[in-house]
Amino acid sequence: MHSEPSRSRSSSGADGFKRPSRRILWAALAALFGGASACGGTPTPPVGTGGTGSGGGPAASGGAGSGGAPASGGVVGSGGAPSSGGAPATGGASTTGGSGGQAATGGGSTGGGSGLTLVEPIERSDSSFVLEFGDYLFEVDPTQGARVVTFSLAGTNLLRPVMLTGDPMWLTGGATFWLSPQVAWNWPPVPEIDQEPYEAMVVGSTIEVVGASATVDSSPVHVEKSFAADLTGEGVIIVYEIHNEATTPVSYAPWEISRHARGGMTFWPGARAPDAAAEWEFEPTLVEGVYYWDDSVSAASDVKISADGEGWVAHVEGDLLFVKSWTPVPAEDIALLQGEVELYLGDGFVEVEVQGPYGEIAAAAASSFEITWYVRALPEGTDVSVGSADLLAAVDAVLP
């Protein structure tokens, strides 16, 4: 369980710009793309770890698509109706920000410069939307808070299985999304954001989900997420949007949480978060500006640290390297007593957490935050120890 002292902070950052919600656009999109799959019911742990289908496929002849990735950490741009046609993109990520349009239409697998192709269908069931390419499998379960339940390479899932636990009961495992600062909702996590069903559909080759309206600190908001394969970079681009449904501004930061088994190595470049230094409850090792936490030598539980970062954090389990990458956030733009990178040691799991910029979201507007996930097999003989130059080289090889 996470807990923090009560506090307040004046709002900062750019104002949000009004844009039509995906809720409003879906009626038109349904006619173009076959409609959304309705998700409902009480959240239950997932049955499996992914869909069927073999990875790979013939190499596509096209290069990266012309649509760029949405700007990270900014405000979703204003825009008109979604794009209704055109040739399908042959690779790259769908554009979900900027002009306010949706991903290019078109079916079939898409290929990138790496020669990887998506295995279709992406929607395997109401509870399993899958981006499968090569030996990579990324799975979202819309019925359980649209959390990521699988991120695997060659069948090894780096995310802890989803289960109900605690008092009150809440979902652990997988990767979820919250609003920061935590003082806005305290504990447990807001059900409509963390664990209740999201509406889901596939737009082109992008998984789009929309959460139910929730009241957070007396203000109505909802969360939207999109997940797209970066076939060229061999990663998955995730965009989180916080939509303000109120008639007055609200201020939040995006907060992503992924849960992993205990015993791995987590490391990131950065420093102590200035206003959270006194809250460090365990002590990672600092080597030449990079913090390392070797969880194999610790039995500590229910402890947390909040740190500044430089736009990436990595986690090693066995011979697999998991990397999250985003646009670095200045320390002054992080919510009070929070951190750009946070690490929580729980009972049987470790949370690797990332927070984006804290700022004001105008009435009827939205903010967005983009983060990219990668998983790679470490070369045989890699030194997985505190201060390892091999680990830093492996991260450098992944980041664009």
**DSSP per residue, 288-357:** TTEEEEEGGG----SEEEEEEESSEEEEEETTEEEEEE-----GGGSPTT--SEEEEE-SS-EEEEEE--
Burial (0-12, 13-18, 19+ Cβ within 10 Å), 248: exposed
pLDDT higher for 185 or 37?
185
Average pLDDT over the chain reads: 80
For domain 17-39+69-398, the CATH architecture is Distorted Sandwich (2.70)
**% of the chain residues with pLDDT over 90:** 66
**DSSP letters of 133-164?**
ETTEEEEEEGGGTTEEEEEEETTEE-SPPPEE
- The residue extents of the domains of the chain are 17-39+69-398
Q: What are the φ and ψ backbone dihedral angles of 25, each rounded to 5 degrees?
A: -80, -15
pLDDT of residue 9: 32
pLDDT digits (tens, 9 = 90+) for 111-161: 666 799 999 999 999 999 999 999 999 999 999 999 999 999 999 999 999
Query: Number of helices and strands (H, E) in the chain?
Result: 3, 25
Query: Rounded CA gap, 338 and 179, in Å?
Result: 12
Residues 244, 221: contact at Cβ < 8 Å?
Answer: yes
pLDDT digits (tens, 9 = 90+) for 225-283: 999 999 999 999 999 999 999 999 999 999 999 999 999 999 999 998 877 655 789 99
Token representation of residue 43: 């959240």
Report the amino acid identity of residue 220.
Answer: P
pLDDT digits (tens, 9 = 90+) for 287-317: 999 999 999 998 899 999 999 999 999 999 9
pLDDT of residue 2: 54
pLDDT digits (tens, 9 = 90+) for 17-71: 333 444 444 444 444 444 333 333 344 444 344 433 333 333 333 333 333 343 4
194 Cβ contact partners less than 8 Å away, ≥ 6 residues apart: 145, 170, 171, 176, 177, 178, 188
Of 12, 75, 74, 17, whose CA–CA distance to 358 is shortest? 12
Report the amino acid identity of residue 248.
Answer: T
For range 165-181, the mean pLDDT:
91
